[in-house]
């Protein structure tokens, strides 16, 4: 999915958020803001939105080497997810279809994101995830996903945000962690999972590979050769989150996307699906308008 005009307000909102995080000094912040604007406008538009974010993150890395602007939010999201999981475990254990339950939580865990919602608390997060267990989800898509997973000897699981990764861990261990290779970002990428957050997310001891890149998605030409080999050798790729969906929607290997449809462009291209609806999309998705 390449950038379209509707992406511009979101990109500028993201840009402004990055600039505000880099320094409390308004002069320094404005200087970085100007550099971010120039870099974003200079980035090619025949790429997904994640490529523009990648370009902006490169500016941040150049100006502040080694900084992880969302480190605090990532840790808070992970801790909140762990606390929510403790309260939800009895509910999870009682539900008759564990696969259905864990898929829902892996998608719905996206709500545990302090980078977007600073007002999160344990009670709200618990109620939100309980609601996920009753939200509409395509039974046909779920059953197809179940079949694809059953037939796959090797699965590449592309992680998305911290917080929800705690619930990804439940699903991955249910699938059989021995046949799963995790994918993390190659460097700080907004609030996405990197190597640093694997253990705290409950994913220690599982094979993993980095994309070798810090885009908040997977843009193959920017990724490492090792990652591309792993990605293309898997029987099945499971990609979490809308950023991975936007960047891998035309991937020419067996792939399943699990995400919430938050972006109006994505929602329209999927047939005007409801805002924040739970989505399982399997295979290529033609991003074209009639």
pTM of the full structure: 0.94
Backbone angles phi and psi of 181, in degrees to 5:
-115, 120
Q: Please state which CATH number belongs to domain 71-282.
A: 3.40.50.10880
- For the chain, what are the domain ranges? 5-63, 71-282
pLDDT in tens, the chain (290 residues): 788 888 888 888 888 888 888 888 888 888 998 999 898 888 777 889 999 999 999 999 999 999 999 999 999 999 999 999 999 999 999 999 999 999 999 999 988 876 566 667 889 899 999 999 999 999 999 999 999 999 999 999 999 999 999 999 999 999 999 999 999 999 999 999 999 999 999 999 999 999 999 999 999 999 999 999 999 999 999 999 999 999 998 888 899 999 999 989 999 989 999 999 999 999 866 554 33
User: What is 192-225 written as a DSSP string?
Assistant: B--GGGTTTTT-TTS-EEE-SS--SS--GGGS-H
Cβ contact 151:235 at 8 Å = yes
Cα three-residue angle 8-218-190, rounded to 5 degrees:
60
179 CB neighbour count, 10 Å cutoff: 16
């Amino acid at each position: 999915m390449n950038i379209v005009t509707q992406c511009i307000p979101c990109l500028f909102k993201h840009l402004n958020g990055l600039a505000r995080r880099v320094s409390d000094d308004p002069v320094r912040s404005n200087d970085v803001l100007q550099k971010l604007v120039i870099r974003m406008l200079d980035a090619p538009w025949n790429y997904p939105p994640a490529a523009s974010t990648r370009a902006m993150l490169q500016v941040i890395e150049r100006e502040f080497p080694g900084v992880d602007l969302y480190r605090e939010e990532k840790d808070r999201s992970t801790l909140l997810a762990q606390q929510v999981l403790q309260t939800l475990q009895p509910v999870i254990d009682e539900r008759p279809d564990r696969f259905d339950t864990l898929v829902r939580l892996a998608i719905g865990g996206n709500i545990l994101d302090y980078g977007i919602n600073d007002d999160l608390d344990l009670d709200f997060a618990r109620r939100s995830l309980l609601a996920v267990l009753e939200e509409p989800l395509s039974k046909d898509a779920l059953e197809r996903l179940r079949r694809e997973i059953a037939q796959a000897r090797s699965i590449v699981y592309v992680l998305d945000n911290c917080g929800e990764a705690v619930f990804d861990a439940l699903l991955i261990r249910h699938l059989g962690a021995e046949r799963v290779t995790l994918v993390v970002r190659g460097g700080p990428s907004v609030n996405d999972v990197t190597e640093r957050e694997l253990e705290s997310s409950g994913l220690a001891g599982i094979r993993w590979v980095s994309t070798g890149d810090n885009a908040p998605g997977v843009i193959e030409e920017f990724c490492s050769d090792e990652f591309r080999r792993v990605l293309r050798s898997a029987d099945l790729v499971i990609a979490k989150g809308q950023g991975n969906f936007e960047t891998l929607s035309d991937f020419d290997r067996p792939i399943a996307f699990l995400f919430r449809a938050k972006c109006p462009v994505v929602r329209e291209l999927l047939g005007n699906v409801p805002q924040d609806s739970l989505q399982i999309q399997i295979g290529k998705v033609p991003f074209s308008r009639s």
